[in-house]
Structure 1
Amino acid sequence: MIGNWIDGAERVAVLTGAGISTDSGIPDYRGPSGVWTLDPELVKAFTYQSFMADASVRAAFWRTYHGHPAWRAQPNTAHRALADLEHSGVAVRVLTQNIDGLQQRAGSSPRKVIELHGTMHQVICTGCGRRTPSEQTLTRVEAGDSDPRCIDCGAILKLDVVLFGEHLNPATTGLAERIAANAQLMLAVGTSLQVEPVASLCAVAVNAGHRLVIVNRDPTPYDDLATAVIREPIGVVLPQICAALSTSDQALK
C-alpha cells in the first residue's frame, strides 16, 4: 500500500477535505450521509448569491451551524498524525478545505495550515469587514435572531468562510500554488477534488514533476494523474503514511 513514492520526500503538501474530519463526528457534504445528500436544498444556504439575497436562506444557514457537531468535535488520529509528522522534522504544509480548525487543535503550527475556505470560528460583516468570534453571533441566533446583523453598520453577517460563488483570497491561493509546486509529494486526503480552483492544486504538483497520492473513499477527477490511489480508511492509513515519511526523512539525515 505504501510504495516507493515516499522515497526522498522531504517537502510534503497535504490537501485535506471533509473526509479527514468525519472520524471526529463531522459529516461530510457529498457522502451517503452528507449534509447536502440528506438535504439538497441546503446547497442554497452555502451559495453566496442566495445567502445575500434571501433572509430565509440565511436563517437556514445559521440553523445548520447552530449546534453543529463541528463545535464539539475533537481532532482524530489523522489530524494528530499530520501534526506528529511536522514535529518529526519533515517540512509539511497542510492545505485544508475544512473550516473546523481541527488540524491546528491537533498540534499543527497555525502558520503551516493554510485555510483555503476560511474558518467557522470567526464571523465577518459583509459591509464593514469587522471580524468577531463566532460564539457572539451564535448566541444571538440561539436567542431567536434568525438573521443577525452587524452591530456597527447593520450589514449582513456571515461565517468567515468561502461560499459557492465567492472568490477565494488570491494571496491564499497564490501561497497554496507555490507550496504545491515545490512539494516533492502531494497527498490529497479525504477530498472529492470536485471543487475548483482548490482541486487543481493536484495538477500544479503533477505539472511541476512531483508525485500525487490520493487517499479517498470514492473516485476523484484526478485519480488518473496520481502515482497511487488508496481507498483504505483515512484514520488507519494516514498515520501509517506519516510514520513511513517520518522514518524515511530520518534515514536521509
Structure 2
Amino acid sequence: MRYAYQEAIVALGARPAEETARTIGEFWNEHNGSSASNLLDVGSADGAATEAILSFTKNIRFDSVVVVEPDLSLCDIAVARISVGTGRVVGVSSIDHAGGGFAHVLASHVLYHFSDLKEAIIDFAGRLSHSGLLTTVVRSTTCDTFLLRSLSCRRTAETARINESKVMAAFRGAGLDPVVEYVQRLVSFPREQYRAGVPDGALKQFLEFAMRLDVAGPLDQEARGLLNEMIMTRTVGDVISFSLRDMIVFGCRVDCDGSHSARMTW
C-alpha cells in the first residue's frame, strides 16, 4: 500500500524541504556541470519534490523527463508542473515503460513501496547512462516519523525493512559507489493541539500519517503511553516540535559494463 501523498503533503508541509531540494540540486550541478541531461523520476506523486529540486539546477538543461507515477491523476499534475522550464516531459504509470539511458534517476521517498529493496536499486542502476547518477531519498532511522511509526509496528532501526545500512548495501550490490548526505528540519505544532493525551488538528493528522494508523489500526495502551512520553520530550513552552531527517544517497556506477533490469511492482 502506498502512502497517501496528498494527505502527507498537507500534514508535513512543503515536500521536500528546501534544504533537501537544494542539497540534491547542488550535487547534480557538480556532477553535470552545464551539460544537457535527462531524468527519470520514479514515484513523482504530484511533482512538487522534483519541481523544488529542479529550481536549484539552473546550470543543467533537461531535454527530457520521464515521470513514473501509478496514480494517473497525480501523474498528470506532475507532468504539467515539471514541464515548466524543461524539455519534453512524459508520464507513465509503470517503471516497466520508462526505458533507460538516463543521466539522472531520482527516487525520492518511494523505496518504501518496493517489495525488494535490492532488486529496486538494481533496476534503477540498470536504467542509468554510462556516467549516470542515481539519487534516492529515504527517512533516516533517527527521523521522528520513523520513531513514531515504530510505536505502531514495534519495529526497530535494526529490523526495519529499509534503513541506512541496507540502502548502502543495496547501492554497492548494484555496482554503485554511494555518497550520503543528511538533511534535518523541524515541523512544529501548537501545544494546545495535544490536551489530556488526545491530539487534535494538524498534529492529529501528522501523527496518523507518521504512524500509518490506516494500516496499523488504533494504538494499544503501551503504545499510547510511549507516544505521550515522546510528545512530552519534544514540547518546549507552547510548541511541540518533531525532527524530520532525510538521508540522501547519490550513486554512480562503478562498473559501467552491462546493465540490469528487473520487474518492479508497487
Same fold (TM over 0.5): no
Query: Which structure is richer in relative contact order (CA contacts within 8 A, separation 6 or more)?
Result: 1
The structure with more strand, counted as a fraction of residues: 2
TM-score calculated relative to the size of structure 2: 0.33
